[in-house]
C-alpha cells in the first residue's frame, strides 16, 4: 500500500501443493533494490526466477545510468518480460512497490503481463480476506507506521480463514531512506497489540 511517507509491502510465508503445506518459511517478499520490492504468489520456481531477473535488470540499469530505476519503469519491464512468454505463461501474480522521485507506487502484475497501478492491492488465495480489511480500514494519507499495522491486521485475518496462507508475515517499508525489513519479533508484537 502507498502511504503518505512511503510504501508498505507484506506477505505471509506458506507454500502449498494442493492440500499439502509444502513449506512454512517461504520467501515471498524480495528486495529488488534499495527502493523497490516485489511480492509473489503462485509457482515458486517462476516467482524466484522472475525476482532474480528483475533484480539483475534493475542493477544493470542503475550501473549504466548512475541513477535509480523508476518504480513504473520496473513494473513495465516486468510486465514486458511476462508478456513475452505467451506460449507458456508464468504462473504468478506479482506486486511491485517502491519509492522514487515521483513518490510511492504500487503495481499489480498479472500472468499475461498486465500492469495496474493502485493505492493498495493484494494477490494470492488469501486476497479476498485481505481486501475486506483494506477496503474497510485503508484511507488516503496513512503513515507508514499505520500502514504496517493495517498490513499485519489484513494478513492475520487471511491466515485465519485461508488454508493456503499462514506461518508468519514478511514485511518491509520503503521510504526516502530506502528499504527496511521488519523483523519477526516486531511483527509478533504488533499482532499481540491488535489482538488486545
Q: Delineate the domains of the chain, giving CATH numbers in brackets.
A: 2-195 (3.60.20.10)
* pLDDT (0 to 100) of residue 112: 85
Please report which helix (H) or strand (E) contains residue 179, including its range.
strand 178-182
Of 41, 27, 2, residue with least CA distance to 167: 27
Strand 2-3 and strand 6-12: the pairing is: antiparallel
Exposure class string for 45-65: b at 16+ Cβ within 10 A, else e? ebbbebbeebbebbeebeeee
**196 residues of the chain, pLDDT tens digit each:** 999 999 999 999 999 998 899 999 999 999 999 999 999 999 999 999 999 999 999 999 999 999 999 999 999 999 999 988 767 788 999 999 999 999 999 999 998 889 999 999 999 999 999 999 999 999 999 999 999 999 999 999 999 999 999 999 999 999 999 999 999 999 999 999 998 6
User: Measured on CA atoms in the order 51, 54, 57, 59, is the torsion positive or negative?
Assistant: negative
Amino acid at each position: 500500500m502507498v502511504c503518505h511517507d512511503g510504501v508498505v509491502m507484506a506477505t505471509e510465508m506458506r507454500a502449498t501443493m494442493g492440500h499439502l503445506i509444502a513449506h512454512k518459511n517461504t520467501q515471498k517478499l524480495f528486495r529488488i533494490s534499495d527502493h523497490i520490492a516485489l511480492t509473489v504468489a503462485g509457482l515458486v520456481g517462476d516467482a524466484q526466477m522472475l525476482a532474480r531477473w528483475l533484480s539483475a535488470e534493475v542493477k544493470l540499469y542503475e550501473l549504466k545510468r548512475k541513477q535509480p530505476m523508476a518504480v513504473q519503469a520496473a513494473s513495465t519491464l516486468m510486465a514486458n518480460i511476462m508478456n513475452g512468454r505467451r506460449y507458456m505463461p508464468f504462473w504468478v501474480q506479482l506486486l511491485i512497490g517502491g519509492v522514487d522521485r515521483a513518490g510511492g507506487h504500487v503495481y499489480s502484475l498479472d500472468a499475461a503481463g498486465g500492469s495496474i497501478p493502485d493505492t493498495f492491492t493484494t494477490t494470492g488465495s488469501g486476497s479476498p480476506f485481505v481486501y475486506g480489511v483494506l477496503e474497510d480500514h485503508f484511507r488516503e494519507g496513512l503513515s507508514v507506521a499505520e500502514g504496517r499495522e493495517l498490513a499485519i491486521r489484513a494478513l492475520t485475518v487471511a491466515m485465519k480463514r485461508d488454508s493456503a496462507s499462514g506461518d508468519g508475515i514478511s514485511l518491509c517499508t520503503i521510504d526516502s531512506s530506502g528499504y527496511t525489513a521488519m523483523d519477526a519479533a516486531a511483527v509478533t508484537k504488533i499482532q499481540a497489540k491488535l489482538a488486545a
